[in-house]
Amino acid sequence: MRRFAIPVLVLAVFMGCKKGSVKNVSADDSQMNAAIANARGSVNSFIAALQAPNPNRMDFGIKMAFTQGQHTEHMWLDDVTYDGKRFHGILKNQPEKVRNVRYGQRVFVAPSQISDWMYVENGKLVGGYTIRVLRDAMSPRERAEFDKSVSFRFD
């Protein structure tokens, strides 16, 4: 069974940290795959929000998979823009296994290739489908600690 790494809740990305903890998730994990499908299926709402400036919206990010050999890591990009065909962003995770990208590198990705998207509106997380799956798998104590560490709330 192939596994891929997801820098866990890599919300550290949006809190100024270079490296989040890594969670290995099976490539056939049904909840994670459903979250990725939800993100891809709703990416147009992310694009619309990104292109309609609103002072109540912030911390736009997209997650994408990076593969090298047998290793795949899903990592976040911030400083996201969209040119009508591709997203542009800055890699905000330190790769653990793949070496063909580096922290801080500018990356381009088609909307069909993202694995998640997120932004914060009025203090609430919008999107963040893979984040929610990982958060739901936490113990109550871990979830409480995580919730204290982020600058937004979940619905």
Q: For 97-118, what is each residue's pLDDT tens digit? A: 999 999 999 999 999 999 999 9
| Longest Cα separation, the chain | 45
Task: Tell me: pLDDT of 147 over 80.
Answer: yes
Average pLDDT over residues 142-148: 95
pTM (two decimals): 0.85
- Which residues sit opposite 12 in a β-bridge? none
**Residue carrying the six token digits 């065909």:** 85
- Which residues sit opposite 100 in a β-bridge? none
Question: Could you give the CA distance from residue 90 to residue 106 in angstroms, rounded to a whole number?
Answer: 5
At 57-73, the pLDDT tens digits run 999 999 999 999 999 99
Question: Could you give the CA distance from residue 58 to residue 119 in angstroms, rounded to a whole number?
Answer: 6
Note whether 89 and 101 are within 8 A (CB): no
Task: Tell me: pLDDT of 16 over 50.
Answer: no
Helical H segments across the chain, by residue range = 30-41, 43-51, 129-136, 140-149
Neighbouring residues of 57: CB distance < 8 A, sequence distance ≥ 6: 49, 119, 120, 121, 126
> 96 is written with which tokens?
């653990």
User: How are beta strands 3-7 and 22-26 bridged, if at all?
Assistant: antiparallel
pLDDT at 141: 97
Nearest to 50 by CA among 84, 74, 97, 15: 84
Neighbouring residues of 32: CB distance < 8 A, sequence distance ≥ 6: 6, 25, 26, 130, 133
Average pLDDT over residues 14-27: 56
- Which residues sit opposite 24 in a β-bridge? 5
Average pLDDT over residues 71-93: 97
